[in-house]
Amino acid sequence: MKNKKIFALIVAVAVAAGGYAAYRFGVRQGMKDMSPANATAAGGAAAGGGAAKKPLYWHDPMVPGQKFDKPGKSPFMDMQLVPVYGGDDGDDGKVTISPRVQQNLGVRTAAVTSGKLSTRVVTVGSVAYNERDVALVQARSNGFVERLYVRAPLDPVKKGQALAELYVPDWVAAQEEYLAARRMQGADTASLVDGARQRMRLVGMTDGQIRLVEASGKVNPRITISSPVSGVVAELGAREGMTVMAGATLFRINGLGTVWVNAEVPENVAARVRPGDVVEARTQALPGTVYKGKVGAILPEVNAATRTLKARIELANPNGQLVPGMFAALTFAPSAGAEVLLVPSEAVIQTGTRSVVMLAQDGGKFMPVDVELGGEGDGLTEIRKGLAAGQKVVVSGQFLVDSEASLRGTATRMTDVQAPEQDKAAALHHGQGKVEQIGKDDITISHGPIASLQWGPMTMPFKLPPAGLPRNVSTGDQVAFDIKQRKDGSFEIAAISPTADAPSVGNKPMTDSMKGDMKMPKPAAGDKK
């Protein structure tokens, strides 16, 4: 029994010793894996996918606008240039957005397609009289208006309808002379009759009126004026009892068999409208009725207020339902065109100086692309340059994508507007350090980390303030200072004061956290001082 206990104790000690040895081996291996060299190698392999990546350029993080083609020391401050690789977000104008964020932003994409752009133009116009379908009724002789059958403008009339009755005194003598020549006997009377008939024509009688006198054998000094066409009385120049002179306009009659529609065509689409194009017209007064016509002419004048050209369209109006002043919606028939690249019009962002679309790429990446636009129709826009068929563009949420790119420091800004320099200069950044050297125009300080600029500890020069340094600041002093960025990208001392009473560690001033760490613990109650 005693031997069994001893054996069990030996086994337990052996197991414990083996576990401790395994634990120490694991700790050593873990420390080895976490060494800086191994960590750097692992990070490089992970970033490059097992192959070293070639930097695009080198730059100073504190002056990011300046790029260098080879590594070296920064000319701006005491530090090495940092390489920038092609896959770095924000360097090549791309932004990567996770699917979840895309869903939150409401991002939708559409493919760039190839097709024919419809050149259909929709505009409005108003109905007017056809000025080519006008008839004037004038007095052919001096006379008096005895009776007026049409008494108001815009009264409708039919062809052959009586308009007015005139008494013409000059006709009496001419008709009596004609009848007297007919009653005469002799061989020479034929010439007298022909002369009298010619005189009746000269006083304004028509052949029909002359035949009436010949048939009746009586003097007829009155004339009934009839309408030569069907339409409306656009102008009324006669009243009962008035005296009229030969050549006076009594009536102006406009026909309604055809009408004009004066369409207001926007200046930017006027090139698509040509004489002879087929047009469909619709009016709210006659719902469901479609009138078809053709473009008769494009008037050579642009309305300065509306920036439109006037297209004159002639429409058939068999029932006379279209009357001047009616509002009409016009659709110019589309013409077949060539195959072009098309994107939804909502995908195009107009900045004023250029046109941009957000191109969607694999892996949730988006990149702004400048494009050259062509025509537009049916919600689609022609792309002449900048895209290829099959690519995808953002049609919804592209402004939010651009904002996301701006927040990540995307180099390509779709607004082409940079932050004002005075806003940068207004920001103050606080730091602490030791004055190494004071020159004529600058002061060199070995400072600790500056969190607002994401700077680590370094030694660098700063421009002196315009008023100069305070008299109590000299080389070797521990100082607290505020800096601000100037327009040229350099930093200038905004305020500086010595902190000689502050303890320091090496060349760096001791922070409050360091002081707290070095405080001695207070003696416990009962301990002797």
Look at residues 406, 419, 420, 417 and name the one whose alpha carbon lies nearest to residue 368: 406
pTM, 2 dp: 0.46
Residues 250 and 138 occupy one common structural domain: yes
- Which CATH number characterizes residue 378's domain? 2.40.420.20
Q: Is residue 56 part of a domain?
A: no
> How much is the pLDDT for 48?
43
Number of domains in the chain: 5
Residues 139 and 234 occupy one common structural domain: yes
Residues 466 and 511 occupy one common structural domain: yes
Residues 162 and 211 occupy one common structural domain: yes
Joined together, the tokens standing for residue 406 give 């701006």
Residues 142 and 221 occupy one common structural domain: yes
Residues 140 and 250 occupy one common structural domain: yes
Q: Is residue 7 part of a domain?
A: yes
Joined together, the tokens standing for residue 51 give 């192959």
Q: Is residue 55 part of a domain?
A: no
Amino acid identity for residue 106 in this structure: G
Query: Residue 197's Cα: distance from chain center in Å?
Result: 77
d(CA 279, CA 521): 96
Q: What's the burial of 443, exposed, middle or buried (CB within 10 Å: 0-12/13-18/19+)?
A: buried
- Which residues contact residue 58 at a Cβ distance below 8 angstroms, ignoring those fewer than 6 apart? 67, 68, 69, 70, 71, 72, 81, 82, 83, 84
Tens-digit pLDDT profile for residues 470-519: 888 889 899 999 998 888 778 899 899 888 544 443 344 444 444 444 34
Instruction: Characterize the bridge pairing of strands 349-350 and 491-498.
Output: unpaired
- Which residues contact residue 289 at a Cβ distance below 8 angstroms, ignoring those fewer than 6 apart? 282, 283, 321
For 111-127, letters b (16+ CB in 10 Å) and e give ebeeeebbbebebebeb
Q: Is residue 365 part of a domain?
A: yes
Look at residues 186, 188, 138, 143 and name the one whose alpha carbon lies nearest to residue 166: 143
- Which CATH number characterizes residue 275's domain? 2.40.30.170
Residues of the chain with pLDDT under 50: 23-50, 88-91, 407, 409-425, 501-529
> How much is the pLDDT for 444?
92
Q: Which long-range contacts (CB under 8 A, 24 or more apart) does 270-277 make?
A: 270/298, 270/309, 272/119, 272/121, 272/332, 272/335, 272/375, 273/121, 273/298, 273/311, 273/332, 274/298, 277/332, 277/333, 277/335
Q: Is residue 89 part of a domain?
A: no
Residues 478 and 496 occupy one common structural domain: yes
- Which residues contact residue 245 at a Cβ distance below 8 angstroms, ignoring those fewer than 6 apart? 139, 142
Tens-digit pLDDT profile for residues 282-302: 998 888 889 988 998 998 888
- Which CATH number characterizes residue 173's domain? 2.40.50.100
